[in-house]
Structure 1
Amino acid sequence: MTDAPAPAATLPDLATTDPVELTRALCDLPSVSGDERAIADAIETALRALPHLEVLRDGDAVLARTTLGRASRVVIAGHIDTVPVQGNLPTQLRHDDAVGEVLWGRGTVDMKGGVAVALHLAATVTEPAVDVTYAFYDHEEVEADKNGLGRIARRHPAWLAADFAILGEPTAGHVEGGCNGTMRLEVATTGRTAHSARAWRGHNAIHDLAPVLAALAAHESETVTVDGLDYREGLNAVGIGGGIAGNMIPDAAVVTVNYRFAPHRDAAAAEAYVRAVLADALADLPDVTITVTDVAEGARPGLDHTVAAAFVRAAVAATGAEVNPKYGWTDVARFSALGVPAVNFGPGDPNLAHADDERCPTAQITDVAAALRAWLAPAS
């Protein structure tokens, strides 16, 4: 006899299950990056049972959308994968004297709460005030070239067409608009090797980095207002290397620079800005090179857009949410690259993402669901 195949993973009824219990069910399904097939199958099956939605799939990314002919369309998105489990599943409900009921376990913060809220709304808000595309995607916690949202943007950009997008990343129930961009550059100097007892016969490449480090240390980062939010930039040395041996003058050295830039700049403008900051420091250095090794552009929040403004009003009224800029980079930038302004809004403290004690107050899940419902179905 051969073993019977394992039963397919399933989710409880999306329309009747509380978002907290749905979060728990999602967390307890296998979903570490690269192993999303079971949870994607379960999500697809649950969504296909809803006749008011058109369901699309690419790999382990599943999208569902209304087609009501509304004047505007929004995307509500979230990734379905997690980082590896560290003995923190299955989930547990616990009590915390400070915040009340708390859901513990991998994915409770990053970001099954946001996914559960989106699935529940997809099932229960059948006549939203705007057309909605719900996007659930794979491989967010690994290399960027595997990211399911990026894959959809390349293969099926029309699937993500919208006037506004919300990414359910953890924000502790506050609205974080857009995100800063990030760029890494290597500033490399060259010298000439010599015995350190006869240093005058060489040229010290490490010493040539001194004016570069001084320029970075003296630099005062800007705060830039974009769509009503104040984005604080940062320009810093984050790594340095050079040297051959303890008795040799180094002939090469490099400092790695990270620039976190406000979303009013694109990558070309960000690189030009860094070069301008370092121009005087580099002016007298021989054979210095600046190489961009990594860049991800930021995202404008678009809070001046009618749809976005209505969302912010609903979120603030429903939960008292604060509206802040997002300093770190998130997948909202992928929407921005498609011309769709976006914000981050989801339950869970982002400082607990990936932690062994990952946990989320259940009230945040409920509050985020209430805020989104108030926006999507204001008359309900």
Structure 2
Amino acid sequence: MSEPQAPADFGRVDPDGTVYVISGGTERSVGQIPDSTPEEAMAFYVRRFENLAAEVTLLESRVAAQAMSPEEAKHAIASAKTNVTDANAVGDLDSLAKRLDALTELLPAQVEARKAQRAEQNAATIASKEAMVEEAETLSQGDDWRGGVDRFRVLLEEWKALPRVDRTTDNELWHRFSSARTQYTRRRKAHFSDLNTLRDSAKAEKEAIIAEAEPLASSTEWGPTSAAFRDLMQRWKAAGSARRADDDALWGRFRAIQDQFFDARTAAQSAVDGEQAKNLAAKQALVQQVTADLEGVTDVDQAKGIHREFLEKFNGLGYVPRGAMREIDSKVRSIGDKVAALEAEEWRRTDPEARKRAEDTVKMFEDQIAKLQADLDKAEAKGDSRGVKDATKSIETYTSWLDQARETLSEFTR
């Protein structure tokens, strides 16, 4: 393998200091350096060649890496080739020219690759913009009035960051995107305009409610006023929302009015609860006392007197807590029922008509038994066993009934 030629091998120096280079099969002068040795003159023009070679090497690396567009590379190669062809330098200029020609041959493939890349990029850009347009059109029909604004802002920034595609497609997509954004903006403005109207209406309604509530704050009609406040609260909720600052201020006023009334009601109720608790304790003590007093009492007048005195004291004590009313009333009714039962029993025992009926019943059974006894005597005298048996059985039955009737009659004589 032959040794590579040095740059100086492609030139010579005349005794007068003129330096020549061999390029394209011909020799041409590249310059003269007087008052210098041939070696110094040659070294000067070799350095020029080496600089050119470095530029070509750098250009090769940039073209290979596609660090510039094919068009830029074409101009750079042409410029470099002109520099090499006309270079006042000593070295293998033909080799540099061939290397530049080889670079030129790479450009058509790069042009096609760039076209394919650009087409792919355009397709991706169009797809991205179409997706953004579709999202924008969906947003334009929605009612996300806060998030939609932010999303349109993001979409617009993303749109600006994308490269343009062919003018017709780009203009068409932009027109759709811009129209969607405009439509959304108009609908949003209309929404908030309507919302402001509703908020103004809500504010007016709530101010009217507050005006109605203010006179109620000092009311002591706890039941009706509580119901009135419930109605006002329902109206407040139905009125909707005013602007945030107005709504907060109005609610603060309305709540203060309610608190004034309900705090007063709570204080009054606490006082009532304390009084009613005392009443309950006193009534419970009375119930226990009257229950003990009536124990064993059979005299109706005595029982009625005890009961009457109990009721006078009981009714004079006033209300008890609502939760205890049923139990205490049940006990009072039980006491009344007991006295009423004694009275009914007394009436039953002393009723003249009932006594007469009891006496008549006893007389009837006695007469019937006497008649049956006569029948028995006759049957025995005749030896009528069947008649004896029937009469005996009937006498036993009527005797049992007579005993019961006499027991009933005896109760009227106790």
Q: What TM-score do the two structures reach when normalised by structure 2?
A: 0.17
More strand by share: 1
Higher RCO (C-alpha under 8 Å, 6+ residues apart): 1
Larger Rg, first or second structure (1 or 2): 2
What TM-score do you get using the length of structure 1 for normalisation? 0.18
